[in-house]
Homo-oligomer: A and B are copies of this chain.
Amino acid sequence: MAEKELQKTVSAEELAKDFKEHSVAEFFKKNMQMLGLTGKIKTLTTIVHEYCTNSLDACEESGILPDIEVQIEELGEEFVEVNVKDNGPGLTQETVGKALGQLLAGTKFHRMIQARGQQGIGAAGCTMLSQITTGKPVKVITGTTRAKPMSLEITIDPKKNQPVISNLVELKKEFRGLIVKARFKGVKYVNSEQGPLEYLRRTAIANPHAKITLIAPDKSTTTFNRSAKDIPERPLEIKPHPKGANVDEVITFSKSTQAKKISSFLKSEFDRMGDKAVEEISKGVSFDLEKDPHALEWDEAEEIVKIFKKISFIAPRTDGLIPIGEDRIKKSIESIVQPEYMSVITRKPQVYKGGFPFLVEVGIAYGGNAGRLSAETIEVEGQAAQQVRKIEIMRFANRAPLLFDTGGCAITKAVQSIDWKRYGIKDYENTPLTIFVNLISVHIPYTSAGKQAISDEDEIMEELRLALMDAGRKTGMYISSKLREQEKQNKRKIFMKYAKEVALALHELTKKPANEIEKKLLDIVLHKLKLEEEQGITDEQAEEEEDAGKKKKGKSGKKQKLFTESDG
């Protein structure tokens, strides 16, 4: 039969009968792994991640100090209930269904605003997972400032990608915030590097203004108290920066603008677009900037984008990007790993393709409890065997920790691409380093809808590398000077040890007083050590200055090409 079939050719018309469309909910339902919802352990951490990032975002947008409680209960084997309660603004009756029961719906996708979530997929994906593993809806209690709190149940109709709400009840008690109670089968709570506790610990590190509590299945409660009491500035919606904007965007914006002239359209739709820049553009293009933007042609937009690349603009505005900040990162790292040395760098905002501004924060901690304990041990003389500490990379995107898909992430790739030996760090993988990296942007280019790794866009890789090199150089200098200091101390010890004996021997020979000889010897030795030391410092300074010179040159050369300090 198979042979007979093979001889017959199937026509396009016959194949066309199988042609169907499917909804985005059906797509992700069949591809839960693309949402990070695969693997017993990873799935549970991803669920906690989706709910907590939504809570933190809502609090931030609303100007509230977040207080989030996560409770995980085991209802059976690989069967858990996740209960997340926040003190955020809550969701309205109109938005609650869309937020938790419809994919590709939310407040974040259309705006250029820094947020942990940005797709409108995550929480609805969790609802879908709950539904397909337990057959039950997700239970929600939501309370806003203007309406009575209510409880309701949500499922998704995958074919339509629409929420189905049931059992909506208005509640008597006062409540503002959101409570989500969802059950999942095929997931497992573990207390590992990739489990919910570690996820929340890292969330607390990058969000020192949040109070976060985890009640684990064994009822043990861990609370991460806020170490900063001020609400972080609310990120502002910003416009795309002309550097990085592409022709399609210019055309798309021009169709929907309310401006009557291309010149005013440019000023209203792009960041950092001043009169001077418009004048420069006007001189460089073959058409009149006074014409109607709705009639802008592709070739004309192409001319505009070409000039965007040539002229100077101020760097992207900084109020759209809210970094954690050097002090807070220092305090956070200090409190967790108590390192011997730490170097923290917050770079200035840059732009990657699409006109999205971003910035990079890097902290490198050395010694103390920095690094992660490995299974390997080393013998230390006269002590019990010690576990070896290796490099640990803590990745964050808009302050949300990234725990999975390490190898596929731009941050990991950037760390691996650095020539650490240049900074005196010989075997960086086996050095007790904690490398903390946070990428802040109005749009993080994740490699997948599961938001577990960042795509290695050229401009982002460049900034990551520059920040890592800067912090790495400082850390390397500390490590080198520490080694030099140890060497010096060793030398001094040896000199001291033998000075007495040599003095006695010389006394025997010269008959001069031993203590006088010893004093002279020590003077000579100390003088010599001091000279060596000065020499060392001079070398180091020279090296450092040379380094800085190179860097400055590279940096300013680059900067001038990219941005100017005055309004374009």
The answer to whether A498 has its CB under 8 Å from any CB of chain B is no
- Tell which of A2-10, A468-476, A531-539 binds the partner: A2-10
**CB within 8 Å of B: which A92-126 residues:** 92, 94-95, 98-99, 102, 104-107, 109-111, 119-120
Residues of B within 8 A of A27 (CB): 24, 104, 109, 119
Q: How many residues of A contact B (CB 8 A)?
A: 88
The complex places the Cα of A464 from the Cα of B421 at a distance, in Å, of 37
The complex places the Cα of A395 from the Cα of B119 at a distance, in Å, of 30
Nearest-Cβ distance from residue A309 to partner chain B, whole angstroms: 13
Nearest-Cβ distance from residue A355 to partner chain B, whole angstroms: 12
The answer to whether A140 has its CB under 8 Å from any CB of chain B is no
- Tell which of A278-286, A330-338, A370-378, A451-459 binds the partner: A451-459
CB-nearest residue of chain B to A3? B233
Contact A19 B94, CB 8 Å, known A10-B61, A10-B62: yes
**CB within 8 Å of B: which A30-52 residues:** 30-31, 33-34, 38-39
Contact A248 B133, CB 8 Å, known A110-B22, A407-B408, A445-B31: yes
The answer, among B33, B147, B449, for a CB contact under 8 Å with A457, is B33
- Report yes or no: B2 in contact with A145, Cβ–Cβ below 8 A: no
- Report yes or no: A63 in contact with B13, Cβ–Cβ below 8 A: no
The answer to whether A502 has its CB under 8 Å from any CB of chain B is no
Q: Can you list, as one digit per residue, whether each of A473-513 has a CB less than 8 Å from chain B (1) or not (0)?
A: 00000000000000000000000000000000000000000
**CB within 8 Å of B: which A293-324 residues:** 298-299, 301-302, 319
Q: Can you list, as one digit per residue, whether each of A35-79 has a CB less than 8 Å from chain B (1) or not (0)?
A: 000110000000000000000001001111000000000000000
The complex places the Cα of A242 from the Cα of B480 at a distance, in Å, of 62
- Report yes or no: A146 in contact with B13, Cβ–Cβ below 8 A: yes
The complex places the Cα of A272 from the Cα of B441 at a distance, in Å, of 51
Q: Can you list, as one digit per residue, whether each of A224-244 has a CB less than 8 Å from chain B (1) or not (0)?
A: 000000010110000000000
The answer, among B18, B34, B63, for a CB contact under 8 Å with A8, is B63
Residues of B within 8 A of A447 (CB): 33-34, 405, 408, 447-448, 450
The complex places the Cα of A509 from the Cα of B33 at a distance, in Å, of 82
Contact A16 B408, CB 8 Å, known A5-B234, A22-B104, A457-B38: no
The answer, among B22, B61, B94, for a CB contact under 8 Å with A120, is B22
Nearest-Cβ distance from residue A55 to partner chain B, whole angstroms: 13
Residues of B within 8 A of A132 (CB): 246-248
Residues of B within 8 A of A26 (CB): 104, 109
Residues of B within 8 A of A401 (CB): none
The 3 closest A-B pairs by CB, nearest first: A407-B407, A135-B298, A132-B248
Could you write out 17 A-B pairs with CB less than 8 Å apart?
Answer: A6-B231, A10-B62, A11-B62, A11-B146, A12-B90, A20-B109, A20-B110, A21-B105, A22-B109, A24-B104, A30-B354, A34-B448, A39-B456, A135-B299, A408-B408, A408-B447, A447-B447
Q: Give me the interface of A with B, judged by CB distance under 8 Å.
A: 2, 5-13, 15-16, 18-24, 26-27, 30-31, 33-34, 38-39, 58, 61-64, 89-92, 94-95, 98-99, 102, 104-107, 109-111, 119-120, 131-133, 135-136, 142, 144-147, 231, 233-234, 246-248, 251, 298-299, 301-302, 319, 354, 405, 407-408, 443, 445-450, 453, 455-458
